[in-house]
Structure 1
């Protein structure tokens, strides 16, 4: 199959319209359409289906697009290896969650842009469930994801993970009564059995985390509020309307709020980089991953080993 047509297929899955693909590829819409007609013959399967005035990928088209991401990454890696020189150039879409944006992502991207201006980083905000779907679809190249040590996540086998480190979990509670910033104990946690708990609106791993945490203290939590915005969670706590679990990077110093480390009761949040297995061979992705790792070392615990260095001229001499 022609690599140009595979690239067009990947772009169609990413952008969704023939016009957008034509603009990105610098072709006319009719030329793009002809390429897809030839690609369907090469694949021996129908890859596109009309949907009103647009087109969508059929299941076969979606599968081929996912294979194409891996194929193109491997070809680009081979070309870079054979060339062995030159500045890395390319666009990397990074999907990330909000609490690592300021301490890790933005410093890493700023440094990367200064050192390698040919790498264009695009940011997408998603929590892990959606981030993993975006990565598998090919709409993002690299992702920052997390899980909890109390609630291990099963990650898709098509993705390769590179751990960055961990961060402790804190109990955010109003600074009244018996609230203290000392590490939480089971007996003190048991005193919050009648409290209103705050969880997110997705009802995913965070619910399970709160349930397991409270179960260890012998009670089931009353989840009364479902809030995704972390600043609003803290506002509710400061107003005396509830308590909630926050990772250390998301906990701000705020009047009326006390953050008590949960220690072994709550375990930790584990943060990792994720990408489709073949994508790691591409220098822009490997470089961005390396810069993210370097920034993560400043703010995370249990730092993971340094990732491999991207290939350069000296590696191919």
Structure 2
């Protein structure tokens, strides 16, 4: 088996069409089809079958794609293992959310410019789902993502996640609101059951948290407004458009009150995510280790006040 044919099969299992695979790898649809036909002949079993105007993997094809993911990772790991102690150099592509980049990655870049001048970091600001898509499509080497304890992300066997930091979140409400502080989370949610609720416009995790807690409090929240900027969320609360989750510790607007949620707690969890087989690549290993060291000291880190 040639690894390039296995990669085509993995891409087909991920993208779902020959055309998409051809575009992803920079070849023609007929070439993709021919290579998969050869692979099927080598394996002695059908790997794809018609599905309307498209094709889909057979059970054997899906099983081989699972093996291929591990095989390709092992091949990549073997390649990188030839020089695991080499000086970190080249370009490391990082996709991540604004807080992680601004508060933790940018300070590292300043130091790395002096200690490792041959290493260049390319930054793309993305929410977790977008960053993970780039990682899967080999458009990024490192993804800085987050989830919540009440809305955990689904693990991907092809990816390795390193825990970075946690941050407690509360509920942003109008400053004049009559609510005990601190208060039981479900009591707080029940107090605002008739309010509109504000959620992130580029990520569904906080909406999942809100719906989960509202359900536990016995109501269905009325999700209305969406905003990516936490400053904008506070502005919406100020003018009476609703309530929404905000990180504990941020400076609040004069007309906004941040109510801690004591139980169940709402905790954001930040992660550094990379593909198996690349973890030993010196630039990736270095930056990941530095991020872990930088975020390990405080037990609970509050997120800055702009963006998620």
TM score, norm. by length of structure 1: 0.69
**Is the alpha carbon distance of 1:185 and 1:158 closer, same or farther for their aligned partners in structure 2, counting shifts above 3 Å?**
closer
Q: Aligned with 1:275: secondary structure? A: strand
The aligned residue for residue 18 of structure 2 is none
Q: What is the CA distance between 1:211 and its match in structure 2?
A: 0.5
Mapping for residues 127-206 of structure 1, pairs under 5 Å: 127-178=127-178, 182-202=182-202, 204-206=204-206
For residues 91 and 70 of structure 2, what CA distance do their matches in structure 1 show? Answer: 18
For residues 131 and 272 of structure 1, what CA distance do their matches in structure 2 show? Answer: 12
Mapping for residues 204-283 of structure 1, pairs under 5 Å: 204-248=204-248, 251-283=250-282
Q: Aligned with 1:237: secondary structure? A: helix
The aligned residue for residue 48 of structure 2 is none
Q: What is the CA distance between 1:87 and its match in structure 2?
A: 3.0
**Is the alpha carbon distance of 1:17 and 1:188 closer, same or farther for their aligned partners in structure 2, counting shifts above 3 Å?**
closer
For residues 119 and 258 of structure 1, what CA distance do their matches in structure 2 show? Answer: 44
1:278-315 per-residue CA deviation (whole Å, 9 max, x = no partner) reads 1111011000001111222355529xxxxxxxxxxxxx
Q: Aligned with 2:151: secondary structure? A: coil
The aligned residue for residue 22 of structure 1 is none
For residues 255 and 198 of structure 1, what CA distance do their matches in structure 2 show? Answer: 19
Mapping for residues 50-61 of structure 1, pairs under 5 Å: none
Q: What is the CA distance between 1:220 and its match in structure 2?
A: 1.5
For residues 204 and 103 of structure 2, what CA distance do their matches in structure 1 show? Answer: 25
Give 2:81's match in structure 1, choosing from 65, 77, 82.
77
CA RMSD between the two structures: 3.6
**Is the alpha carbon distance of 1:262 and 1:93 closer, same or farther for their aligned partners in structure 2, counting shifts above 3 Å?**
same
1:9-64 per-residue CA deviation (whole Å, 9 max, x = no partner) reads xxxx9x9898xxxxxxxxxxxxxxxxx89xx79x9469xxxxxxxxxxxx9xxx99
Determine whether 1:97 maps to 2:118.
Answer: no
Unaligned residue ranges in structure 1 (runs of 5+): 7-12, 19-35, 47-58, 303-317
Unaligned residue ranges in structure 2 (runs of 5+): 8-20, 38-56, 58-64, 302-308
1:50-98 per-residue CA deviation (whole Å, 9 max, x = no partner) reads xxxxxxxxx9xxx9999878745542331x24xx5x6321110011111
For residues 176 and 211 of structure 1, what CA distance do their matches in structure 2 show? Answer: 24
The 8 Å contact of residues 151 and 205 in structure 2, kept in 1 or not, is answered as yes
TM score, norm. by length of structure 2: 0.70
1:134-167 per-residue CA deviation (whole Å, 9 max, x = no partner) reads 1111110011111111122212110011111311
The 8 Å contact of residues 210 and 221 in structure 1, kept in 2 or not, is answered as yes
Q: Aligned with 1:108: secondary structure? A: helix
Q: Aligned with 1:177: secondary structure? A: coil
For residues 137 and 299 of structure 2, what CA distance do their matches in structure 1 show? Answer: 29
For residues 101 and 3 of structure 2, what CA distance do their matches in structure 1 show? Answer: 38
1:199-223 per-residue CA deviation (whole Å, 9 max, x = no partner) reads 1234622221110122222222111
Mapping for residues 11-30 of structure 1, pairs under 5 Å: none
1:145-197 per-residue CA deviation (whole Å, 9 max, x = no partner) reads 11111122212110011111311111111211325663554333311111111
